[in-house]
Homo-oligomer: A and B are copies of this chain.
């Protein structure tokens, strides 16, 4: 069972070793990349060694984050710190061994049940990157431009660019410091939100054309077949955010995005409004996340999977 610790204890743990593995979840988004790169830069600036591990590569779209990290390897038995990782499974099977021996988990997911020896968890933090900012302050490491870029990336992506209810006064004040530290805020948010590759345009059209509704328009389902992802040449960065599209339509309280990950295998992203708890919905299928954004996995043919989801939504509506 994990020990739930404070910011200062987490900082103590980071001081306690000369080298660390840093592990985050697979299909890494802006917060996973920003927080792992940010923590690596933080540790490296303290004279330590840090090696980032992830089941999937970090897209070149995130060069503002990755560019500041010194690539290096650590001893195979170096302690493991995880960032933005709510559960061992989310690291991917190839990283399970590292995840299972995690010393410290730095996270903001309410569904993190404590798989690491120590868990520094702030449910109300807008992003794991917000916690990296707090750690930098606690460790008296000044914000450089590189570090600020990483933190800004995670915060802006996880808040939908300061839009979601998780955005607090603290979030904005941290952003102000990041800008003063030289973060390329506009360039990063433009890359994250306002740059659509041809692949992305193709995926958006597919997703928007796939929308089906239920329960008087309160439920929306969208689908992204694997074949389309492959045909479009899309990167992970192009896929992030597609789950939010249907949620933007007036009246939709629960938007379910079905991404085909393999034969009869789907990764479901749930995005909800005030009326629905997305984490509770996904928990019915062994998943979890946040109240308004959560995920789960389902197996079976498409019709069966859709049916299960629609029935589960019926319990809510």
- Determine, out of A13-21, A196-204, A278-286, the stretch whose residues face the partner at the interface: A196-204
Contact at A179–B186, with CB atoms within 8 Å?
A: no
What B residues does A244 contact at CB under 8 A?
Answer: 194
Interface size on A, residues (CB 8 A): 34
With A196-B248, A249-B201, A250-B196 in contact, do A190 and B162 touch (Cβ < 8 Å)?
no
Contact at A164–B186, with CB atoms within 8 Å?
A: yes
Q: How far is the CB of A152 from chain B (nearest CB, A)?
A: 11
Other-chain residue from B164, B165, B189, B249 in contact with A196 (beta carbon distance below 8 A):
B249
A168 within 8 A of B: yes
What B residues does A195 contact at CB under 8 A?
Answer: 248-250
Closest to A190 in B: B163
What B residues does A164 contact at CB under 8 A?
Answer: 186
What B residues does A196 contact at CB under 8 A?
Answer: 248-250
Copies of this chain present in the complex amount to 2
Closest to A194 in B: B248
- Determine, out of A136-144, A170-178, A308-316, the stretch whose residues face the partner at the interface: A170-178
CA distance A250 to B197 in the complex (A): 5
A247 within 8 A of B: yes
Contact at A193–B250, with CB atoms within 8 Å?
A: no
Other-chain residue from B165, B169, B172, B194 in contact with A163 (beta carbon distance below 8 A):
B194
What B residues does A186 contact at CB under 8 A?
Answer: 163-165, 167
Q: How far is the CB of A56 from chain B (nearest CB, A)?
A: 22
A161 within 8 A of B: yes
CA distance A249 to B201 in the complex (A): 8
Q: How far is the CB of A253 from chain B (nearest CB, A)?
A: 12
A55 within 8 A of B: no
Closest to A183 in B: B169
Contact at B250–A198, with CB atoms within 8 Å?
A: yes
Interface centre among A164, A175, A177 (most CB of B within 10 A): A175
CA distance A164 to B189 in the complex (A): 8
CA distance A44 to B254 in the complex (A): 41
What B residues does A160 contact at CB under 8 A?
Answer: 161, 194
Contact at A163–B176, with CB atoms within 8 Å?
A: no
Contact at A180–B169, with CB atoms within 8 Å?
A: yes
CA distance A249 to B200 in the complex (A): 9
Contact at A169–B177, with CB atoms within 8 Å?
A: yes
Closest to A197 in B: B250
**Could you list 9 A-B pairs, sorted by A, with CB under 8 Å?**
A162-B189, A164-B186, A167-B185, A172-B172, A172-B175, A173-B173, A176-B176, A196-B248, A197-B250
Extra pairs beyond A172-B172, A196-B248 (13, CB < 8 Å): A160-B194, A161-B162, A161-B163, A162-B189, A165-B186, A167-B186, A168-B179, A169-B176, A169-B179, A169-B180, A172-B173, A173-B173, A196-B249
4 nearest A-B residue pairs (beta carbon): A165-B186, A169-B176, A172-B176, A163-B189
